[in-house]
Structure 1
């Protein structure tokens, strides 16, 4: 079994507010997106979340004119939106939109919420788009220079509830299932816990503050305590593996579509 090394230097942990942490054995502030008002096309919510910094950036793509298209995602709200960050020398002209899929990318619903920048505007963003019920999302866009539309580019797909190879779940970070109903959180006390509304259904049983979860490139899911000490692992192997927090409350490590480890909590 191999374990990750030097993870601290490679990853910046997302800092979230105390309202998203756990107290007295239960999650706070991890309700479904619908109850928090993540409405399709809601630009006001996108602006509010972006200004608070409470989002992740799962991926960025660059057009042939060096304009960046970024997918942003807010775990607390289960919302995604696209950002077009244009280079000033191109006067910020371009388009950005969001795409959602309920079939792991074999079919897409987009383009959704297409927005174009204006002259002398260096960036723009779409409204938020609810990812409840979808298993993947991406942002796409292009740039327009001297009347010529560049190639369309799309960011890497982001899968709600999924921790891909090489990714870490830091202290206080969590995964919502695609439905937004269930949550897997790396608690501040070092325990990795899966919750359905109102109660826990699975826990790693580890209790060392500062522990993080790492989905290694070799396919092993590992809890690493401070000092690079592995304290729990699934013992799985194989490149391309990922962890999924599912709608049925099961926590599963998959490789090539085949489950390699599971919490066995489906339906609880």
Structure 2
């Protein structure tokens, strides 16, 4: 009787775990909107779940494909900003903590002090993409992790503003 009960419990546990994993993948967020942040340990996933943009605990923002192959990153792992507070008479250190999306600005920052460690070159990318004829009012407001492996900052109703240029998978 004990072996039947144990088997039943193990089967129920396995079914529960399958449902939990499926629900997690189905509810993963693929878009970051203006005013939102992606904090350490959080990620955006493509709708298929194949691509993940992860704000790592080391401060680096990394795009992974196929469960762990890095494709692109901000190279902010290990970055540190040191400053000396003359009033307190000691040095402080700040680290990259989050990806923040502001209107037309995508950056890795320490939100508590506003220190910027990486900024997407929105102007340069847009000029190259639109061959110098950037549409008027092109303001990025939505960052999307796409199923082709590209991470794109879009201006709603107008088109792309910046991309990681990692599409094609």
Q: TM-score, normalised by structure 2?
A: 0.62
Q: Which stretch shifts more, 205-214 or 249-258?
A: 205-214
Alpha-carbon contact 1:243-1:251 (below 8 Å) kept: yes
Aligned to 2:141: 241
Is residue 2:119 matched to residue 1:219?
no
Query: What's the Cα RMSD here?
Result: 2.5
Aligned length: 119
Counterpart Cα distance in 2 of 1:183 and 1:262: 15
Alpha-carbon contact 2:139-2:161 (below 8 Å) kept: no
Counterpart Cα distance in 2 of 1:233 and 1:243: 14
| Counterparts of residues 144-223 of structure 1 (less than 5 Å) | 160-197=29-66, 198-207=68-77, 208=79, 209-216=95-102, 218-223=103-108
Counterpart Cα distance in 2 of 1:181 and 1:37: 18
The structure having more radius of gyration, on CA atoms, is 2
Is residue 2:167 matched to residue 1:266?
yes
Flag the structure with higher helix content: 2
Alpha-carbon contact 1:188-1:210 (below 8 Å) kept: no
Please report how far the alpha carbon of residue 248 of structure 1 lies from its aligned counterpart in structure 2 after TM superposition: 0.6
Structure 1 unpaired stretches of 5+: 1-35, 39-44, 50-73, 81-130, 132-159
| Counterparts of residues 21-60 of structure 1 (less than 5 Å) | 37-38=18-19, 45=20
Alpha-carbon contact 1:219-1:242 (below 8 Å) kept: no
Q: Secondary structure at the match of 1:79?
A: helix
Please report how far the alpha carbon of residue 236 of structure 1 lies from its aligned counterpart in structure 2 after TM superposition: 3.4
Alpha-carbon contact 2:41-2:56 (below 8 Å) kept: yes
Structure 2 unpaired stretches of 5+: 1-16, 80-94, 124-137
Specify whether residues 210 and 231 from structure 1 end up closer, same or farther in structure 2 by C-alpha distance, changes over 3 A only.
Answer: closer
Alpha-carbon contact 1:220-1:236 (below 8 Å) kept: yes
Relative contact order (C-alpha < 8 Å, sep 6+): which is higher?
Answer: 2
**Cα deviation 1:47-69 (Å, max 9, x = unaligned):** xx9xxxxxxxxxxxxxxxxxxxx
Please report how far the alpha carbon of residue 78 of structure 1 lies from its aligned counterpart in structure 2 after TM superposition: 2.3
| Counterparts of residues 117-136 of structure 1 (less than 5 Å) | none
Q: TM-score, normalised by structure 1?
A: 0.40
Counterpart Cα distance in 1 of 2:72 and 2:33: 21
Please report how far the alpha carbon of residue 235 of structure 1 lies from its aligned counterpart in structure 2 after TM superposition: 4.1
Alpha-carbon contact 1:171-1:186 (below 8 Å) kept: yes
